[in-house]
Amino acid sequence: MYRCVRVTHPHQFLQCTLWRERPEDEVQVYSLDTVTYGTKPAGFSTIRAMQQLFYDEEGKFPVAAKIIRTNFYVDDPIAGGDTIEKGVEIRQQIKALLERGHFPIRKWCSNEPAALGVDDSDREKTLKFHEETDVTKALGLSWDTLWTEWTEKSATKRNILSAFARFFDPLRLIAPIITKLKIFMQVLWKDKLDWDESLLQSLHSAWLEHMSQIATVACLKLPRFVLQHRLFYSSSDEIHGFCDASMAAYGACIYFRSENQGIVSSNLLCSKSRVAPLQTLTIPKLELSAALLLSELASKVAQIASRSCTFHCWSDSTMVLAWIHQPPSDFNIFVSNRISQIEERTNDLEARTVKAESGGYLISWMYPY
């Protein structure tokens, strides 16, 4: 990608190399005429050149221009369509648009081979680690959503942190497992253990329990396509967010609800969690932090949503709902700051209460997107 962007005169002379074969030879000056990977402006220069390309060609390739603007990370696009025909159109437009700027694109990959329609030389090569496992690489990371292998290592803080860092889960689809690992890591830091010091027996037993839960990740299967298959989209598509908190952690998750001909499907889109701070907070304050986390997550989803949906955010804390409906100036700094941030993302809040089977209540405020 970088070598596809030319540096204009006279800036190419800032990328000069001096060379001579022998000490007695005259020094020769070579200049690099394209963007050099590793220099500070390289990333900006190439991405800005690609952005200018979609500005110039947006009228001819509207679908590809939108994807390049919103679905590119450096030189890796990740996009998809509701049908095979839509996927083919996306691929063709992206390829044609990028060719206008002399950006050849290859290594196509799809869960539906019919959507590719390209030569084998342009397809991404999968890595097979064991039977029925094909892994592709994105941004230098190998990611298999169905299988994770863990090797036995000594239970030290260094090795535990290394195991935790191996998770590649940007959508936090396995947040329950990762959150427990975060809580466990917090305990290790509170005990002030050295990096290579062996764990106490109680901590070691807890780590083995976490390892057994990590192994269950191999059994998880989550759909990538969350819509009902249909020709026309209805206005009944809804996005529901849930938040909750405990003394150890708090989190939020987003579900997409789709309905077609009386058949309803609900699928997890993403989630986010945080460990409770070491400074002890009350449950209502942690519930408010969870509501703020949900408002941030829902706001991000709303920005990238490609269709009109109604947003509903749910909490089981009546205290949080009471705070949200009061002016922020009525409370202390902690509460008022979070209420203000929630109000920035949620205008005209509408309270709704649904009694749960357990006897508690789910409180909802609705996003007017």
Q: What is the pLDDT of residue 141?
A: 47
For CA atoms 119, 125, 126, 131, give the dihedral sign: positive
Q: What is the pLDDT of residues 22-51, one digit of tens each?
A: 999 999 999 888 988 888 888 888 888 888
Helical H segments across the chain, by residue range: 42-57, 62-70, 84-100, 157-165, 175-190, 201-215, 283-304, 318-324, 333-345
Report the range of poorest mean pLDDT among 18-27, 297-306, 358-367: 358-367
pLDDT for res 134: 57
**169 Cβ contact list (under 8 Å, min separation 6):** 175, 178
User: Which H/E stretch holds residue 38?
Assistant: none
Indicate the average pLDDT of the chain.
79
Pairing state between β 238-245 and 310-315: parallel
What does the pLDDT read at residue 336?
92
**Residue at token pair 């329950």:** 176
Averaged over 150-160, what is the pLDDT?
Answer: 71
Count helices and strands (H / E) in the chain: 9, 13
Choose between 204 and 144: higher pLDDT. Answer: 204
For residue 156, what is the DSSP state?
Answer: B
Domain ranges of the chain: 2-115, 128-222, 238-367
Task: Note the pLDDT of residue 147.
Answer: 43
In the chain, what percentage of residues exceed pLDDT 70?
80
Per-residue model confidence as pLDDT tens digits over 71-128: 887 778 878 777 888 888 888 888 888 888 888 888 887 777 777 766 656 676 665 5
Q: Quick one: pLDDT at residue 136?
A: 61
Instruction: Express each pLDDT in 244-283 by its tens digit.
Output: 999 999 999 999 888 877 788 888 989 999 999 988 889 9
Domain 238-367, CATH: 3.30.420
pLDDT at 160 over 60: yes
Query: How confident is the model over 300-310, as a mean pLDDT?
Result: 76
How far is the C-alpha of 297 from the C-alpha of 272, rounded, in Å? Answer: 7
pTM above 0.75, yes or no: no
